[in-house]
Structure 1
């Protein structure tokens, strides 16, 4: 009986929070908030699928292949999958902040942070034997530029 009461309380609390969220908003602001809710749901789905893929890859690594520190490609794949999950979580978090604070835009520093994570993921997945020096230089310049923009965004 207590468990049913707790479930009703939890659902009613969430519902009242959602109603409070939409009270006092214009039609377009409600539209934006609804889109953000849909995006959050989609990102949660993608994150769950990426996490299942990561668990499967790690399980395969441990059980079928065995952890072999010589095989760099395997570790690159695993860490790439970890970064995919981290990027998705950071993106979802930024949308939750926008939703909770009734902001209309995602902050620049959040976008730059997600871009930095994506470029860091790219660095992890790079095969240094197959990448040209120019491509490595371009990625390095991108990281430097994103780092400077992030630093400026945090300072302002």
Structure 2
């Protein structure tokens, strides 16, 4: 057995342990969302402000980001690298920026910061489009009658 094989097994074992940790993180984010939702629905007769909805969406997006990170780690455990992981990382970046936009207080944010976020959104979108376009062109066509995953 070569060093490379040992290292690949080591890498997969570590990724599996991190994946188990991500299961806990996903559970915690889901719990935080459920708790906040419970608090909001208990306060329905009162005023539902924009800040309340911001906090709910923040928790939803945190859960989705944690799920995407777990997906990326799962791909590493299964031995898939390259484009699939790259796409997942780009999607995580997009979700993180969207999460930032949801919780952003626009009135107290500088125009330069908003321009920076716009540049990040544009860069991630272009990168995702390029990876998707060139990835689709370089993949071999599926065999006739092959089952879809």
TM-score, normalised relative to structure 2: 0.81
Is 2:41 aligned against 1:58?
no
The Cα shift of 1:64 comes to 3.4
The Cα shift of 1:108 comes to 1.6
The Cα shift of 1:67 comes to 6.5
| Structure 1 counterpart of 2:52 | 74
Q: State the superposition RMSD in angstroms.
A: 1.7
The Cα shift of 1:68 comes to 3.5
The Cα shift of 1:98 comes to 2.6
SS for the counterpart of 2:80 is coil
Summarize the Cα distance change of 1:78–1:67 in structure 2 as closer, same or farther, 3 Å threshold.
farther
**Do the aligned partners of 1:47 and 1:85 also contact (CA within 8 Å) in 2?**
yes
Report how many aligned residue pairs link the two structures.
130
Is 2:86 aligned against 1:108?
yes
- Gap runs ≥5 in structure 1: 1-24
The Cα shift of 1:119 comes to 0.3
The Cα shift of 1:99 comes to 2.0
Indicate which of 16, 29, 33 corresponds to 1:37: 16
The Cα shift of 1:110 comes to 1.2
C-alpha offsets along residues 103-146 of structure 1, whole Å, 9 cap, x if unaligned? Answer: 35672221111000000000000111111111111101100001
| Structure 1 counterpart of 2:147 | none
| Structure 1 counterpart of 2:72 | 94
Is 2:112 aligned against 1:134?
yes
Partner Cα distance (2:45, 2:98) in 1: 26
Partner Cα distance (2:130, 2:53) in 1: 34
| Structure 2 counterpart of 1:12 | none
**Do the aligned partners of 2:33 and 2:59 also contact (CA within 8 Å) in 1?**
yes
